[in-house]
Structure 1
Amino acid sequence: MSAVQEKKQVKPNVSRVILERLKVLDDLPRFPNALMKLEQMLSSDKDVHLDEVAALVAQDPRLTAGIIGAVNSARYSPGYNITNIEEAVQRLGTQDVRMMAHAINYQSTVKTKPPFSEKEFMRHAMLSAFIAQALAKAVHFDQGEAFLCGLMHDLGAYLLAIESRDKYKQVMLDSAGDAAFFVQTEQSVFGTNHAVLGGRLLQQWRFPKEIVMGVAMHHAPHSAPEEFQNYAYLTYLAEQGAFFGGLTNGVVTHKGEVPADTLLNGLEYFGLTLGHYNDLVLNATELAKESSLI
């Protein structure tokens, strides 16, 4: 076979094709310039001043209102009402500003209605983010990156659903809402799955590799490159914790009662007991409620 013939037979990357099509249709989730600059600023090695962070957030009225709302929630409230972004950023600190800004943006990321409950989808994402942060604290990982892994682990499910509502409804029907079969069904119907597709978009948005791989491999953490298995397992445990906490994602409607092998493997990977994990999930749920995000 000639080199030309071989080249013709190379199949296009399905995830990339889907993202290109959604971009043309203006259906990709929003990622505002202010948030992109904030992410670049806070993920760099240089020292960052809080007034620089406040100035960036102030460029986006929606983020500004959300951050001020967050700082006045039960979790952060100093006992008096904070009304300006400079004081809000001082109160939260750079790490929590980064996490809250992404959470606020993610809540309004849906541009086209998917064929499942947006409310359930978002509540599950928020709780997963807080559980991921709690896990990261327990195992001494970067809490900000863990939070973002948990927050955006199902981003690809939304992308597949708006790529083809009919196909995604079929995926939901064929898998009977069971997580054990869901990823396989997505793969057979679309030629990719929500984890890989979400990771691809995060890569295009230039997120750190730990977040990209944590999301892309969270349904197969044992298959991730060794240096990224930690974030893949952490993201998987965060997702499962949200399910065990009673918040489904609107797509998968039920979970088995017995912990899956992957979950037990993840706990073993980090040296955590099931009891410790359950406590982390409960504590993270309370924090999420205090932050008014679920």
Structure 2
Amino acid sequence: MSLPAGSAATSATLALRNGDHPWLRPDDLSIPMLPDQAQRVLHLVGDPDVTIATLAAVVSKDPVLATRVLGMANSALYGAMSPLRSVSDAVVRLGTRTVRNVVVTVSMQSQFKSPDVYGHDGHNFMEHAVGTAYVAHLVADHVRADVEEAFLCGLLHDIGKLVVLRTAHQYQEKHGAVIRADELASAVKQHHALCGALALGFWNVPDEVRDIVQHHHAFEEAADPQAAAICYAANLLSHRYGFGCAPEGDGVLEDAVFPYLELDAAWLARADVRAPGLFNAARQALG
């Protein structure tokens, strides 16, 4: 698989090529691909001239996507008072970029269910991804940033972890080798952000999102430090709340990202109430 162009891809390629894990090389990465309809949605939402009718028609071609988009539009998350029955009406209620985010979420859910590759990590990954996305939306709203971009970045921030797991599984199957658990854990921790940046180059994801994913553990180095800081803070809070992982408690609040974003104790207290409710409502709406 040839790698995408771009600064994020270039730096990621060099880091992997010179890394400590010979099985994790840029040209050998096992990158999950989104279904065709999801790719089409991502492409259309990037077009400022896209119409509601065109986007709804693409979503409607996939019964699962259509059902989930309608379900989200009719959920408590969007204050649904009267039920909608058409995908077109759902797109109007949600907005095109929210539809994109729902489509990516649903597509990821279908991709990462293989127990042979991910074990229980696939389920935990999706729980953490969805939780982080909704927390990122809260943070972005507070600092008056782009909430839909923040949501997408939160959703995708750890996609590289699954790329590393897929690549390890592929290598072991092909070579009859065994990668030690501690080596795999080290590779996931060290390279997931870089692998995520590479993977998203194949997904019609904006370059800005790829850069944020690559730098979500080093937000000062991102092209947009505030956007990357939002993603990083959301990730920490998602760990604090135990979204897809064991709750980590208040220790994460000592990180410098919180004063950087001016997330004070009063805001955190409100987030402690709102975030779990959003997470549970999203789980119900997404199925």
Count of matched residue positions in the alignment of Structure 1 and Structure 2: 259
Shift of 1:212: 0.8
Q: CA RMSD in A?
A: 3.0
| Structure 2 length-normalised TM | 0.78
The answer (yes or no) to whether the contact 1:145–1:210 under 8 Å persists in 2 is no
Question: What residue in structure 1 maps to residue 219 of structure 2?
Answer: 221
Deviations 1:45-72 (A, max 9, x none): x243211221121232221121122223
- CA 1:125–1:11 in 2, change beyond 3 Å: closer, same or farther? closer
| One-letter amino acid matched to 2:57 | A
> Which residue identity is paired with 1:272?
L
Aligned AA (2:182): Q
**Among 255, 258, 280, the residue aligned to 2:251:** 258
1:137 alignment partner in structure 2:
141
Alignment-derived partner of residue 64 in structure 1: 66
- The answer for the alignment partner of 1:151 in structure 2 is 155
Q: CA deviation at 1:79?
A: 3.9
Residues 20-169 of structure 1 aligned to structure 2 (within 5 Å): 20-23=27-30, 28-44=31-47, 46-76=48-78, 78-110=80-112, 112-113=114-115, 114-165=118-169, 167=179, 169=181
CA distance in 1, matches of 2:71, 2:179: 38
- 2: CA distance, partners of 1:278 / 1:254: 16
The offset of 1:29, in angstroms, is 2.1
In 2, the alpha carbon distance for the partners of 1:243 and 1:11 equals 27
TM-score (norm 1): 0.76
Does the Cα contact within 8 Å between 2:165 and 2:188 map onto a contact in 1?
no
Deviation sequence 1:122-159 (CA, Å, 0-9, x none): 11110100011111111121111111111111111111
Which ranges in structure 1 are unaligned for 5 or more consecutive residues? 1-9, 173-181
Contact 1:121 1:248 in 2 (8 A): yes
Counterpart in the other structure of 2:5: none
In structure 1, C-alpha distance between the alignment counterparts of 2:90 and 2:228, rounded to whole Å: 32
Q: Is the 8 A contact 2:33 2:203 kept in 1?
A: no
Residue matched to 2:174: none
- Deviation of 1:260 (Å): 5.8
Q: Select between 266-275 and 69-78 the one with higher mean Cα deviation.
A: 69-78
**Contact 2:237 2:252 (8 Å CA) reproduced:** no
C-alpha distance in 1 between matches for 2:265 and 2:179: 37
In the TM superposition, residue 33 of structure 1 has moved relative to its aligned partner by 2.5
Query: What runs of 5+ residues in structure 2 fail to find an aligned partner?
Result: 1-14, 170-177
Native 8 Å contact 1:210 1:231 kept in 2:
no
Q: 5 Å matches for 1:175-214?
A: 185-186=186-187, 193-214=191-212
Contact 1:241 1:281 in 2 (8 A): no
Q: Distance in 2 between matches of 1:198 and 1:228?
A: 17
Runs of 4 or more, structure 1, over 6 Å off, are 13-17
Change (3 A) 1:107 1:143: same
Letter in 1 for 2:45: L
